[in-house]
Amino acid sequence: MKLGILVVYLVAEDDERLLDIHLSQIEKHTGVPYCIYASTNRLSPRFRAKLDRLPYVKVCATPDTVLRGGEEHAYYLDRLAEAAVTDGVTHLCTLHLDSFPIREGWAEETAAGLCGKCVLSGVQRDAQTDWKPATEFMLFTREFYLQYRPTFRISPAVAESEAYKQYSAACPHTPDSGVGYGFAIWSAGLSWLPLLPVNRARNLYYSGGIYGDVVFHLGGAVFYRADRKPAKPGEMRLAAMLSVLRSTVIKILPWRIRRRILPILGLGSWMQTHFTVPALQATRSALLADPERFLRRLEDRP
């Protein structure tokens, strides 16, 4: 097995500790030959120098893009996949700056599950509403990539196609990065192995999740970095209380209705400001303070 790990490094100035944890966890738990294929187009020189010094990191020169947010991230991932395949890797894996494996043997065991029509294993954020792999962790075969040449996002033309409409009806999902792989797998009559959250009770608002006992994902380290403020204890207590109400709403209200109603009422941004971001900041602080203790506590679940 020759593993290519694809990571787009968009690192805020105060995220050096998170970067170090991410790299050390990969190094600690990965027992197969591997190389991190890194995109550093908007990375500060000091972080670029840190990556350049690591023997297992290959910084890939890719053209800049005017895209931002999730589209920028997917643009660079597509080009990292091409570079890794050109180098002859047997398996490709995506991670984020704030995601990493949590136990030894993760790569071999995940790859062993890819056989027959099953060509990919990846994080599935929600078993009811998001039936696609997510890029915080996807592991797939070289053969699948070469045969179908999927992209992490889909083009507007594909989004309007009848085939994609059928896929959306069969597999409800959020059309962010990873959807291109989900669509390619469905279109070819193949399958993938989802890694679901195993610590849902403590994974408030998708912050600090362990998926399939394989990978940890902090969540939102890049996209919410401009909103960083110290989390207030009262906010986290209220977030925990309201998580019960949130779970009830999810069970009662169909996801398609929730998806349409929340933006109309302005509740999506309200939830993000008052609960998602504070939950993320509290989880982030605990992880950075003592990674080993934090991860042990997450894994010690009922």
pLDDT in tens, 85-132: 999 999 999 999 999 999 999 999 999 999 999 999 999 988 888 899
In the chain, the amino acid numbered 12 is: A
Give, as one character, the DSSP assignment of residue 196.
Answer: -
Which residues lie closer than 8 Å to 245 by C-beta, 6 or more apart? none
The per-residue pLDDT for range 173-186, each reduced to its tens digit, is 989 999 999 999 99
- Lowest-pLDDT range of 12-16, 33-37, 217-221: 217-221
Question: Which run of H or E residues covers position 46?
Answer: helix 45-52
pTM for the full predicted model: 0.84
Which residues lie closer than 8 Å to 295 by C-beta, 6 or more apart? 102, 216, 287
Closest by CA position to 56, among listed 96, 27, 79: 27
Q: Please state whether beta strands 209-211 and 134-141 pair in parallel, antiparallel, or not at all (unpaired).
A: unpaired
For 66, 121, 146, the CA distances from 1, given in Å and listed in that order, are 36, 16, 17
Partner residues linked to 211 by β-bridges: 197, 215
Average pLDDT over residues 183-202: 87
Q: How confident is the model at residue 302 (pLDDT cuts 50, 70, 90)?
A: very low
Rounded Cα gap, residues 18 and 16, in angstroms: 5
- As a dihedral over the C-alpha atoms of residue 142, residue 126, residue 105, residue 101, rounded to 10 degrees, the angle is 100
Q: How confident is the model at residue 202 (pLDDT cuts 50, 70, 90)?
A: very low
Closest by CA position to 99, among listed 222, 213, 218, 195: 218
Domain boundaries defined on the chain? 3-195, 224-299
Rounded Cα gap, residues 302 and 270, in angstroms: 31
Closest by CA position to 90, among listed 54, 144, 127, 23: 144
Sheet holding 209-211, edge to edge: 99-101, 215-217, 209-211
205 alpha carbon, distance to own chain's centre: 14
Rounded Cα gap, residues 74 and 77, in angstroms: 5
Rounded Cα gap, residues 96 and 9, in angstroms: 8
**Joined tokens for residue 212:** 């399939």
Q: Which CATH number fits domain 3-195: 3.90.550.10, 3.40.190.10, 3.40.50.12280, 3.40.309.10?
A: 3.90.550.10
**Joined tokens for residue 39:** 């995109």
